[in-house]
Amino acid sequence: MSAAVAWARRRASAADAWRRLRRDRLAMTALIVLVAFVVMALIAPLVSDRADFDAINTGGNPTNSSPSGQFVLGTDGLGRSMALQVMWGARISLLVGFSATVLMIVLGVVVGLAAGFFGGWIDAVLMRITDWFMVIPFLPLAIVLASVLERGVGTIVLVIGITSWPSTARLIRSQVLSIRERLYVDRARALGAGKGHIIGRHILPNVTPLILANTTLAVPIAILTETTLSFLGLGDPTQVSWGGLLERAGTTAVKAGYWWEYLPPGVGIVLVVLAFTIIGRAVEEVLDPRLRAR
Amino acid sequence: MADPVLRAQHVQVRFDAGRVRAVDTVSLEVGRGEVVALVGESGCGKTTLIRSVVGLEPLAAGSVEVEGRPIGSSGKGRALRAVRRRVQMIFQDPTGALNPRHSIYEAVAEGLRIHKVKGDEAALVSDALAAAGLRPPERYLRRFPHELSGGQKQRVLIAAAMALQPALLLADEPVASLDASIRGEILALMRSYVERDGVSIVAVTHDLGLAWNIADRVAVMYLGRIVEVGPAEAVLRSPQHPYTRALLSVVPETGHLEQQILTGETPDPSKVPSGCRFHPRCPVVASGEAARLGIEDRCRGVDLELEVVAEGHEVACHAVSVRST
């Protein structure tokens, strides 16, 4: 079969999946929320200037003022606009969340797939490496890496990525081990299928729901891990993130009842995490014909 | 046999690091358009034998040729793929054999894509479904396996296998998981491919009634060996091996045999008895007839191979050999 036909078929099935997803109201709402946050993060530099909330430029602003016409979400203890900080914070939180997740899923899926499918010594070697990474205590490694490597978003992504892939790898491996023993894999082999065909057409599509579920869980974990690292001073001090905002608010604003300083980033995290979970569930339903409502 | 479709010679399949011989030196030939039933108890190696023919189990020894070309570890790459196309298999559990994520169209087209079969894929798939009795095919193309009945799923599997126009169809208990009411239809469908396309079939079954219905020849397996093989008529009407006689005696329709319930342990392929592997459960030995014939020591101590007792009818039994000489 020619590549063009295969491509057309793939495009048709993608269009079909999208049509079914469109019918899911909840998923569409979640998608809109998520897109809104992403758009907000993307346009932040277009509608404002990073320098607008540098402490040296905010001397004339009122401090800890509640939301008003001038400051939609009020200001913090240094007179910086919370609205701007939440917008700019979304950039770092989402960037770290997405990139660390991608790194973690790609590493985990490749290792888990190879170990589960090929078995034997490949499995043994890969799983020992996985165990090794699994028992490395997360924080000490993060501290070491953050001090050895350059401070920055890239380092945070790397730290989260390489400390969190082993659980994904183990999960994928166990699923692959179960799927490769299924009768339909035997049938594909009896039909004359090679390894590539079996992985691409049978194994991978059947671990996709697991990958998606894992991704939806990994994004919030990555976002929260970024918070932890920022709290420990291992984040990028020149950047503002939702985690950083929460952390700063935790010391004084919470006690003083300045809700506008901790609620917006907190709600942001909750909405993004929730949106991800809902979308992940809906996508899983679309990809698995058995879960489809008749 | 001249120009057999399948020639399996001295095939051995071992499990558990070689300790268990699931298939222990089996030779079998199948002619063009011939239907062979492979019968025996669970665990006798009949399914393993056909899985090894299609390449799902590695051969520990022996060789398998399809239309004169070797299959399995001896073949390589493109040549192997070409041979693979000539042997197809259907399974006992059609639900498990269909990927739940693939539509019926994809399930049938899968083999066509793997082998890059030329022609209009959609037309080939529709024709295959129609030939397997799923009419009109358009009604099934976009459905998923969970929306079909067991019989329909087995038809899909048969359609997918036959779409590749194999020379040999291996069927592993093709109707065991189906309703009694549709077993006949599926068997008739398989038979129709023999008449129309001249395909050969090896059907594994523990149901001797099925063997009666569709087989030209019957091979009886016990503990990894073929103990009796011959024309269906001869094996089922005048069984020679005591194991075959015992199997047939419990089939209601064969009233002419005295019923024999086999006693003793169910066979364990990791502990194959010495001599004739059937002797611990053999009624001929147990009744003392072997002793009367003066062969009890041979039954217990001397392993044996198939011997011709009539035209195309072979049996591996000391008692039969002694009586016929």
Using CA atoms, how far apart are residues B198 and B188, in angstroms rounded to an integer? Answer: 14
Interchain contact, B89 vs A188, CB within 8 Å: no
DSSP lists the bridge partners of residue B203 as B37, B171
pLDDT for B141: 92
Within 10 A of B71 (CB to CB), how many other CB atoms are there?
24
Average pLDDT score over residue span B13-29: 89
Chain B residue nearest residue A204, CA to CA: B101
Q: Is A56 on the interface with B (CB under 8 A)?
A: no
Q: Is B180 in a helix, a strand, or coil?
A: helix
Chain A residue nearest residue B80, CA to CA: A192
Cβ neighbors of A3 (< 8 A, separation 6 or more) are none
Instruction: Domain B6-94+166-221: give its CATH code.
Output: 3.40.50.300
CB A117 within 8 A of CB A180: yes
Two tokens, residue A41: 């993060």
pLDDT for A294: 42
Q: Are strands B200-205 and B35-39 parallel, antiparallel or unpaired?
A: parallel
Interchain contact, A191 vs B116, CB within 8 Å: no
Chain A residue nearest residue B111, CA to CA: A191
Using CA atoms, how far apart are residues B141 and B126, in angstroms rounded to an integer? Answer: 8
DSSP lists the bridge partners of residue B66 as B6, B69
Per domain, the residue ranges of chain B are 6-94+166-221, 238-324
* Residue numbers in B near A182 (CB within 8 A): 96
Interface test with B, best of A1, A9, A180, A184 (most B CBs within 10 A): A184
Interchain contact, B100 vs A289, CB within 8 Å: yes
Of A182, A192, A205, the CB nearest to B84: A192
Q: What is the CA radius of gyration of chain A?
A: 23
Confidence grade of residue A13 (pLDDT, cut at 50, 70, 90): confident
Name the percent of chain A lying above pLDDT 90: 25
CA neighbours closer than 13 Å in the CB half-sphere of residue B280 = 12
pLDDT for A59: 67
Chain A residue nearest residue B108, CA to CA: A191
pLDDT for A56: 67
Q: Which of B130, B195, B138, B139 is nearest to B163 (CA)?
A: B130
Two tokens, residue A99: 């990139």
Confidence grade of residue A252 (pLDDT, cut at 50, 70, 90): confident
Report which listed range, A214-223, A281-290, B148-157, B176-185, is most confident. B148-157
Interchain contact, A188 vs B110, CB within 8 Å: yes
Two tokens, residue A18: 């999208």
C-alpha distances out from residue A265 to A38, A91, A240, B277, Å: 14, 12, 11, 77
Using CA atoms, how far apart are residues A77 and A62, in angstroms rounded to an integer? Answer: 9
Q: Is B160 on the interface with A (CB under 8 A)?
A: yes
Q: Which CATH superfamily is domain A21-53+73-291 in?
A: MetI-like (1.10.3720.10)
Average pLDDT score over residue span B97-106: 92
CB B134 within 8 A of CB B72: no
Cβ neighbors of B91 (< 8 A, separation 6 or more) are A183, A186, A187, B97, B157, B172
Using CA atoms, how far apart are residues B244 and B227, in angstroms rounded to an integer? Answer: 8
Using CA atoms, how far apart are residues B317 and B282, in angstroms rounded to an integer? Answer: 10
Answer yes or no: is the ipTM higher than 0.90. no
Average pLDDT over chain A reads 83
Check whether B265 has a pLDDT greater than 90: no
Interchain contact, B89 vs A187, CB within 8 Å: yes
Q: Which of A284, A142, A167, A145 is nearest to A226 (CA)?
A: A142
- pTM over the 0.90 mark: no
Interchain contact, A288 vs B164, CB within 8 Å: no
Render B11-72 in DSSP notation, one character per residue: EEEEETTTTEEEEEEEEEEE-TT-EEEEE--TTSSHHHHHHHHTTSS--SEEEEEETTEEEG
pLDDT for B254: 61
Q: Which of B33, B228, B209 is nearest to B218 (CA)?
A: B228
Check whether B266 has a pLDDT greater than 50: yes
Convert the pLDDT of each residue in B164-220 to its tens digit. 999 999 999 999 888 888 898 999 999 999 999 999 999 998 888 888 888 999 999
Render B259-308 in DSSP notation, one character per residue: P----SPPP-TTSPPSSSTTGGG-HHHHTTHHHHHT-HHHHHH-----EE
Per domain, the residue ranges of chain A are 21-53+73-291
Of B111, B121, B161, the CB nearest to A1: B121
